[in-house]
């Protein structure tokens, strides 16, 4: 079962909560997608009868033992030998596969445009995932074996897990065992202190571990719905530890979890906080420049910040590192993007404004149902049918420790999506200026992940064409969303891709890929060399964090990451 747990960890780690157009999906978008399927069913009865007849023929073959339908060898749900050798289970799998085959053949024949077809396929897959026989005790041979081997204890434990989720997890199946983790004790343990605090954020400075440090400091801007300690989960995969061990003066913003009363916090407020944090970092270190790194929606925030600084003529920004971040989205980038509609986003905005915030639990629930096979049904099987605890995995613990999203900020993120603001030059106003990335001249480092389905790498590559930077480096990590970032040295499977020849990047991702070389190992040392070249001379490390004007306060990771809302 250990191997299965590792698979659960890896799959869920690629599906973390992330801000983007998906926060604008309203329940009406799901209803309209189902209505589309029903409408097409009724529009051509002869077509429906033809597919029903074909499915009936498959059913007859199954009943007479003549069906050759077999699960995809890569489908982990049907790995147990019973699906192949037990007539009852083999037939059960074949009935499911016949329905799946019939549904997909029918969808293929529907007269829909690309967006409608994507929408229909997405909804159909959610329905089909829910119908899988493996989701039930009667239809899951592994669960039945576990029941017998445990003398019925697996069923009792499964019922206990289901009860606990109903009472303590708002009815959602748990993806992580939170019990082993304690922030500041065995997770987020790098030494440092809060050196500045406002109502909206804490600024944490981490203690140097080298005798000398680079003069230009590094500031990380995290996403607003994820807590900042993703940068410091454990010593083995801590970005913060990697930075301080390599002589970077490291600062991280820790956003406060907004309550209903703070639902008015918008992008302008967050950008004002970022500007203030830059000034504090500059004053503490004495550096006129500050390098900035950010991931996912934090990267969108950092891009608005870079645009604002350029518009106001403030040259404090040194370099900009953007990880797994999409600035030029297209509706076909991700499967669920087909559900997003103008009316749905309008309704989502109105509902959020009424509540003040979108609760973290509601965000997590919504994301889970967009990938139900990986984030719901696999855990139903593990936790309820097999009676096992969910994995105790630091990335999943962090993901479950999400924060609320203020209604105003959600509206601003949807505006960025709707207007394609980053692709325009001075047309869209936000954060008290008109966004224009062509005015941003800072050296740029952009990271994508090969198997990232939240921010697909080809979508992240489009950002290379948006800035006015002369020096743009693009790196493609071999993994998915968060694992693309948390890919430290020492992983024998790690690899990344970079352009063979130095110079201007090609226009498209496909052209870039043709001119790349594969490099074994983590991309962290490559980035470190890149950033050190742009971090100034070495100077003696400070004796302590902070300064007279900004004295050290609470130990890292601060108060806001543990504050209950």
Between CA 394 and CA 229 the distance in angstroms is: 10
Nearest CA-CA partner of 193 in 556, 546, 548: 556
Beta strand pairing status for 290-295 and 317-323?
parallel
Within its chain, how far is the Cα of 457 from the centroid? 13
**What is d(CA 287, CA 289) in angstroms, rounded to the nearest whole number?**
5
Query: Is 325 designated active site?
Result: no
Spatial separation of the C-alpha atoms in residues 560 and 538, rounded to whole Å: 32
Category of 403 on φ-ψ map: left (φ > 0), alpha (ψ -120 to 50) or beta: beta
Beta bridge partners of 538: 214
Cβ atoms within 10 Å, residue 38: 9
User: Is 174:158 a contact under the CB 8 Å cutoff?
Assistant: no
**Would you report the helix, strand and coil content of the chain in percent, each value rounded to 5?**
50, 15, 35
Cβ-proximal residues to 396 (8 Å cutoff; 6+ apart), any chain: 9, 12, 13, 175, 176, 390
Instruction: Give residue 20's region: left, alpha or beta (phi > 0; psi -120 to 50).
Output: left
* Element spanning 419, H or E: helix 407-419
Q: Cα(137)–Cα(408) distance, rounded to whole angstroms?
A: 45
Distance CA 534, CA 150 (A): 59
Q: Which of 296, 348, 482, 528 does the annotation list as catalytic? A: 296
Please tell me what DSSP assigns to residue 121. H
Tokens of 199: 């109502």
Can you point out the beta strands (E) in 454-506?
472-477, 495-499
Q: Which residues are catalytic?
A: 296
């Amino acid at each position: 079962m250990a191997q299965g747990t590792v698979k659960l960890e890896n799959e869920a780690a690629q599906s973390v909560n992330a801000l983007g157009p998906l926060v604008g999906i309203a329940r009406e978008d799901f209803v309209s997608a189902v209505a589309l399927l029903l409408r097409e069913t009724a529009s051509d009865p002869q077509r429906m009868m033809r597919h029903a007849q074909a499915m009936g023929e498959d059913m007859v073959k199954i009943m007479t033992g003549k069906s050759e339908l077999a699960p995809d060898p890569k489908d982990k749900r049907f790995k147990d030998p019973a699906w192949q050798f037990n007539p009852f289970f083999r037939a059960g799998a074949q009935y499911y596969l016949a329905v799946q085959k019939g549904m997909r053949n029918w969808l293929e024949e529907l007269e829909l445009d690309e967006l409608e077809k994507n929408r229909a396929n997405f909804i159909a897959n959610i329905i089909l995932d829910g119908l899988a026989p493996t989701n039930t005790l009667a239809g899951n041979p592994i669960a039945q074996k576990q029941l017998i081997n445990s003398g019925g204890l697996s069923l009792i434990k499964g019922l206990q897990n289901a009860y606990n989720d109903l009472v303590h997890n708002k009815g959602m199946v748990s993806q992580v065992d939170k019990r082993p983790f304690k922030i500041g004790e065995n997770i987020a343990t790098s030494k440092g202190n809060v050196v500045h605090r406002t109502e909206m954020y804490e600024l944490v400075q981490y203690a140097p571990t080298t005798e000398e440090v680079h003069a230009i400091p590094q500031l990380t801007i995290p996403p607003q719905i994820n807590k900042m300690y993703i940068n410091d989960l454990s010593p083995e995969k801590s970005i913060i530890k990697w930075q301080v061990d390599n002589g970077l003066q490291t600062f991280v913003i820790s956003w406060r979890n907004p309550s209903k009363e703070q639902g008015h916090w918008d992008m302008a407020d967050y950008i004002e906080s970022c500007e203030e944090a830059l000034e504090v970092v500059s004053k503490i270190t004495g550096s006129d420049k500050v390098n900035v790194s950010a991931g996912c929606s934090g990267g969108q925030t950092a891009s608005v910040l870079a645009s604002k600084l350029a518009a106001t003529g403030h040259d404090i920004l040194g370099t900009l590192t953007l990880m797994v971040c999409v600035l030029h989205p297209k509706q076909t980038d991700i499967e669920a993007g087909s559900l997003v509609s103008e009316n749905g986003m309008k309704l989502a905005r109105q509902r959020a404004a009424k509540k003040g915030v979108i609760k973290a639990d509601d965000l997590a629930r919504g994301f889970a149902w967009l990938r139900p096979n990986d984030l719901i049904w696999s855990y139903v099987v593990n936790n309820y049918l097999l009676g096992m605890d969910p994995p105790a995995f630091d990335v999943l613990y962090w993901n479950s420790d999400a924060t609320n999203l203020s209604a105003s900020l959600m509206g601003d993120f949807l505006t960025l999506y709707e207007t394609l603001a980053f692709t325009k030059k001075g047309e869209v106003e936000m954060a008290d200026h008109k966004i224009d990335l062509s005015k941003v001249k800072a050296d740029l480092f952009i990271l994508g992940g090969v198997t990232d389905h939240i921010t697909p790498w080809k979508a992240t590559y489009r950002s290379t064409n948006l800035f006015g930077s002369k020096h743009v480096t693009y790196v493609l990590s071999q993994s998915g969303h968060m694992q693309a970032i948390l890919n430290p040295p020492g992983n024998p499977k790690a690899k990344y891709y970079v352009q063979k020849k130095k110079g201007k990047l090609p226009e498209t991702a496909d052209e870039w890929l043709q001119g790349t070389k594969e490099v074994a190992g983590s991309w962290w040392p490559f980035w470190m060399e890149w950033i050190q070249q742009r971090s100034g001379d070495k100077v003696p490390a400070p004796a302590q964090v902070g300064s007279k004007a900004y004295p050290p306060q609470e130990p890292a990771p601060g108060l806001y990451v543990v504050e209950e809302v």
